[in-house]
Amino acid sequence: MRFTNHILTGICAATGALAGSYQPKFRVSPIDGSKIALPTKEQLAWQDKEIGVLIHFEIATYLDIDGCNKMDSATALGAKYATLVAKHNCGFAIWPSEVTFQDRENQTVPYDYTIAQSPVRGQNIVKSFVDSAKKYDIGHGFYYSVVVNNYLNVQDSDVRAGTWAPGQVNITNGTYDQIVYNQLSELWKDYGSLTEIWFDGGYSSDQKDKIETLLKETQPQAVIFNGCDTDGSCVSANSIRWIGTELGEAPEENWSTGLTNDGGDHTSPYFCPAECDTTLQTDDRWFFGVDQPLRSLEEMIGVYHKTVGQNCILELDLSPDRSGAIPKEHAARYRELGDFINSCYGKPVAGHAAHSSNEKGEYIIKLHKPTNIDRIVLMEDQTNGQVIRSYQVHAKVVESQDADIAADVPFKLVSNGTSIGHKKIDIFDKAVLATEVLVKTTFVDTPKWRSVSLHACA
């Protein structure tokens, strides 16, 4: 097989290499010799989910500021997984952590900034969240802020020297690294198989090797947000990257490969798809804000098209209020967005059309009658890598429903672009009445298509 003959390197961890040794897995293009990054099955399965939610419910929910550093609604939206903020930058753990450690006076003390020391002692929000995710059959994951912990006076994974505020605990950097490891062990060992693990801001070089080892032992199937540094140093083969903004929009040219926080790099040997995290509330507000306005449905539809429609996974914030419930206005907006997605993209307008593809990288849809369309959804089969480098969408446009579909009508360009990847949605400048659609591509290996579908949603 041409695919197997062109494998250059594998994941070194599989051969017993040391921690920190993850290497990119790629093959060589039989056309131009370029590298084609290869995904893991976990990365592809994660891309298939398309929409997730990031749940912020913590100490900051009860503050007027947005944080500590200046599941019906999920399913209604169409989310396929949910990631819970288990410990944000405040340092408060919403599970009853049993970690103990030594302070600078060599006294063994408990990590006593948890739900077990709160007015709702006896509760475990992490367990309740996991139970609910299982009930609704969606994947679950955890966000844990490694680099900031105000309770322990930590910024950028470093214990700050100087005066400690009331309530802060005086520790060393080595002790902090051990606390991180022990709390991640609790989260990763006790709550089942995780879909996603979030490292907001990454992790320090001193923490990296132990985190990598713990991931291999406990959660090898999870995708890891911020799992790679830009120098190619990764803690997991299942790494995913940040898109570089919290506005909910990916660049028009957004590749499934590359390690930088932007549109990626089609020449990179690292398959590392992007996640687009953003808020439903205005002003980049993640935790619940009293009387905080919501972004409009029209704006959120635009977010969907600029994320999922541009080869990015949308992770939309879900922020319970101070009672622990999703505010009814929020729930309504999630449902409205989910309803739009279902109504527009639930099924194509041309269900009985004839579909075909060829070795020239073309995809052809011949319609059985003139059909109004205003957009196209393109999906590449990335099992052997993302290989399409550009595309053009042409349509045979006619003037009336009575037009002869067999007539010799010239093709007209209706959209074009570069990266397709998991999914690319092109909305035309205006709707057209078409009898045939032709997608042309340039590529580094003959493309395999997952699907191409036509829709009319305006």
- In tens, the pLDDT along 163-178 reads 788 888 989 999 999 9
pLDDT value at residue 3: 30
Please say whether the beta carbons of 259 and 296 come within 8 A.
Answer: no
* pLDDT per position as a tens digit, 331-376: 999 999 999 999 999 999 977 799 999 999 999 999 999 999 999 9
Q: Rounded CA gap, 261 and 245, in Å?
A: 8
What is the rounded average pLDDT of the residues 107-121?
93
> Which of 60-64, 240-244, 409-413, 452-456 is predicted with the least confidence, judged by mean pLDDT?
60-64
- DSSP summary character for residue 292: P
- In order of their start, the domains of the chain are 9-345 (3.20.20.80), 354-455 (2.60.120.260)
Examine the pLDDT at 13 and tell me if it is beyond 80: no
Q: Rounded CA gap, 127 and 191, in Å?
A: 7
pLDDT band at 7 (very low <50, low <70, confident <90, very high): very low
Please say whether the beta carbons of 445 and 387 come within 8 A.
Answer: yes
- Going by DSSP bridges, is the β-strand pair 424-443/363-380 parallel, antiparallel, or unpaired? antiparallel
What is the rounded average pLDDT of the residues 104-121?
92
Burial (Cβ within 10 Å: 0-12, 13-18, ≥19) of residue 163:
exposed
Tokens of 262: 């932007």
Tokens of 214: 């713990």
Q: Rounded CA gap, 22 and 12, in Å?
A: 6
Please say whether the beta carbons of 110 and 104 come within 8 A.
Answer: no
Q: Which of 315, 282, 297 is nearest to 81 (CA)?
A: 315
Question: What global pTM score does this model have?
Answer: 0.92
Q: Rounded CA gap, 87 and 53, in Å?
A: 16
